[in-house]
Amino acid sequence: MIARCVPPTLLALTALLTSCRKPEVESYRVPKETVAEMPPATPAATPSAAPAAPMAGGAPAADASMANTAVATAAGPGLTWTAPATWKAKPGSAMRKGSYTVTAEGVAGEGDLSITAFPGDVGGDLANLNRWRGQIQLPPVAQGEFEAAVQRLERNGLKITVVDLAGSGANAQRIVGAMIPYAGATWFFKLMGPDAVIAKEKAAFLAFVDTIKAPAAAR
């Protein structure tokens, strides 16, 4: 067999064409990245107000069976009150200016007395009344029914709106409460619990309301 010589020029051209051929492109399917769902933002907790200390000497000398408590707010001294000795004081909290467990002699169960204060009128007296009604499954009342549903008092220079709300049924709950505007805020004194307990303690609650007052410098 006779070997044929390939001209050098042809060899060079073949090598050049081979080197210019485009490489095959390989494609890959990348799985979609899963984005972790962030939990809903939690509102910042309201700083806890330090519980106010009882007035020096405890209860007023005029009635040693009562315990007097003074409460301060960010704007200055708040309202003060004198609670019956039979009401057991509980630790304060971020929401409460004062808190008591209320029992009635010879009656099963206990009530809860909460004292809170919020800036402004918190929606107005009607909205506040209806919030309390909703807490014991009572329907809301209209503005025209408001005055018949409350009692207006004035004690120690304070204008006080008192309510008495009774639920129904075997485990009926009852609320007796007072709403008091003071120093650009609204204070709420609410006694809630079994109907029989609250009914027996209503007179004590009204006597308690009579003791609520503003600091002497503010009157």
CATH class of the domain at 84-213: alpha beta
What value does the mean pLDDT take over residues 5-26?
Answer: 44
**Backbone angle region of 57, left / alpha / beta, with phi > 0 → left and psi within -120 to 50 → alpha:** left
Is the pLDDT at 2 greater than 50, yes or no?
no
Per-residue 3-state assignment (H helix, E strand, C coil) for 75-92? CEEEEEEEEECCCEECCC
- State the pLDDT confidence band at 37, using cuts at 50, 70 and 90: very low
Mean pLDDT of the chain: 75
Stated pTM of the model:
0.66
| Phi, psi (rounded to 5 degrees) for 19 | -70, -25
Tell which wins on pLDDT, 107 or 76: 107
Q: Exposure of 181 by Cβ count < 10 A (0-12 exposed, 13-18 middle, 19+ buried)?
A: middle
Tell which wins on pLDDT, 18 or 164: 164
Model pLDDT for residues 121-178, shown as the tens digit of each residue:
999 999 999 999 999 999 999 999 999 999 999 999 999 999 999 998 888 999 999 9
Tell which wins on pLDDT, 125 or 11: 125
CA distances from 210 to 132, 165, 207 (A): 21, 20, 5
What value does the mean pLDDT take over residues 201-205?
Answer: 98
Q: According to the model, what pLDDT value does residue 166 have? A: 97
